[in-house]
Amino acid sequence: MRLSLVCLSKPILHGYFRSSCSWRVRIAFALKGIEFDQVPVNLIKDGGQQYSEQYKTLNPMQQVPAVEIDGVTLSQSLAVIQYIDETRPGLRLLPADPQKRAQVRMISDIIASGIQPLQNLYVIQKIGTEKVQWAQHFINRGFQALEPILKQTAGKYCVGDEVSMADICLVPQVYNAERFKVDMDQFPTIKRLNQTLLEIEAFNTTHPSCQPDTPADLQK
């Protein structure tokens, strides 16, 4: 009974417009048709608002996102997405078939663990003047592995013909690749999937260019 009552309140997403991890969660909420409130956490302003003591109580890793939902606070975007999928009706974000579900998790982990952390803001700030070359190197390395995997698993989307958590991870990572001027023509399967996914409303309305905290010069 307690869970059903707290489910009546909107989830609160503490995130940053250009954070790929925050974008993943926005996409998942949109695909599920879940209304949510946003609290911006500016990763640059004031030396990084994620380092404030107030935010540290929400996410001790001092990263975004942090999501307040059903009376608990969750961090780590894949954990949030899977929780949403397990507790809310609507489109399944992980397939029922065990093999396809494993493929979705594999692709998601390649992106969320093997590519994105190596070019997130905290790492890039430590690299200094070579940050673009660093990001390009690790995105290219990750995509060189991901491209042949997706050639085997993809239908219309990353795994077969149903949108999944893998697609939720792919689109923000391609956005990062384009920001760092990675040549996407090297990866035709990834490029095709990204273009197809960006035609879906849930991916468009959650895009970094149209968030409440998007700077005016980056808005659509």
The Cα–Cα gap between 170 and 178 comes to 12
Does one domain contain both 170 and 78? no
Does one domain contain both 187 and 159? yes
Length of the chain: 220
Domain count within the chain: 2
* CB-based contact 108:158 (threshold 8 Å): no
The Cα–Cα gap between 6 and 97 comes to 31
- Per the rule left: phi > 0, alpha: psi between -120 and 50, beta: everything else, 65 is beta
What percent of the chain is predicted at pLDDT more than 70? Answer: 96
Query: Domain span at residue 185?
Result: 98-204
The Cα–Cα gap between 93 and 101 comes to 9
**The domain spanning residue 26 has which CATH number?**
3.40.30.10
Let me know the angle formed at the C-alpha of 67 by 66 and 73, rounded to the nearest 5 degrees: 90
pTM, whole model, 2 decimals? 0.94
Token pair, residue 178, equals: 């384009």
Token pair, residue 27, equals: 């996409």
The pLDDT tens digits for 50-87 are 999 999 999 999 999 999 999 999 999 999 999 999 99
Does one domain contain both 110 and 87? no
The pLDDT tens digits for 87-129 are 999 999 999 999 999 999 999 999 999 999 998 888 998 998 8
Region 144-168 average pLDDT: 98
